Amino acid sequence: MDLITHYDQLYNTSSKAILEENYKLDTQIKDTSDSRFGITLLMRPNETIKAKIQLFLEELKTIEPEQYYYPDSDLHITVLSIISCYDGFTLDKIQVKDYISVIQQSLVHLDKINIEFRGITASPSAVMIQGFPTDESLNNFRDKLRENFKKSDLEQSIDSRYTIAAAHSTVMRFQEKLQNPEKLIEITEKFRDYDFGELKVKNLELVYNNWYQREENTIHLADFII
């Protein structure tokens, strides 16, 4: 399935659920004892894209101030969740240098990654910015990472939740009952095809992170220049 169709189907199903108040609340956002951690290879939007995302979020905040909004520091696009977050995972369970080595090995044939951020989509519990890679570089790199990690004996749970193929960035999560679902969808419709800008990826980050990629809970492990 192409990304446009994927995002459209997701939005159509989710916006209907939101309007019918069949959305899902994330009950763990405020849980300070949440111990779900993992390691992720990710990229971050540039300052221009971040500024446009925050303009969008400011509109949402006027009608849904009690929801969870990602600050600039936490905005990201997942390249690959290498160890999906689970209760009790800590860094002393792995040798980080071995993970860095596999990623460096996988980077050898990577030329460039460019992503166009255009429009928004939604799930029954969140709102996301749509990302469209301009070629197959990201998918090919993900496949090389999968191949090399699965050949290794390192702990990993790649694709255990789902096989990542998109390049979206989650920017809002539902943590309280929506005050005005109709107005929320009205604003998302306004931004359905909005141009948030193009990202020419120059740097990838390997991080130890919690479920929400909160900066205060994140340990930076390595940078990879591409």
Q: How many domains does the chain have?
A: 1
Which of 63-67, 161-165, 212-216 is least confident? 161-165
CATH of the domain at 200: 3.90.1140.10
* Two tokens, residue 190: 């306004």
Residue 163 has pLDDT above 70, yes or no: no
pLDDT tens digit string along 29-48?
999 889 999 999 999 999 99
Mean pLDDT throughout 166-175? 96
pLDDT tens digit string along 17-32?
999 999 999 999 999 8
pLDDT tens digit string along 97-131?
999 999 999 999 788 999 999 999 999 999 999 99
Cβ atoms < 10 Å from Cβ of 117 = 25
Residue 158 has pLDDT above 90, yes or no: no
* Segments forming the whole domain that contains residue 30: 3-225
The 3-state secondary structure of the chain reads CCHHHHHHHHHHHHHHHHHCCCCCCCCCCCCCCCCEEEEEEEECCCHHHHHHHHHHHHHHHHHCCCCEECCHHHCCEEEEEEEEEEECCCHHHCCHHHHHHHHHHHHCCCCCEEEEEEEEEEECCEEEEEEEECCCHHHHHHHHHHHHHHHCCCCCCCCCCCCCCCCCEEEEECCCCCCCHHHHHHHHHHCCCCEEEEEEECEEEEEEEECCCCHHHCEEEEEEEC
Question: CA dist 191 to 98, 120, 129, 196, 216, Å?
Answer: 42, 6, 9, 10, 30
The 3-state secondary structure of 15-52 reads HHHHHCCCCCCCCCCCCCCCCEEEEEEEECCCHHHHHH
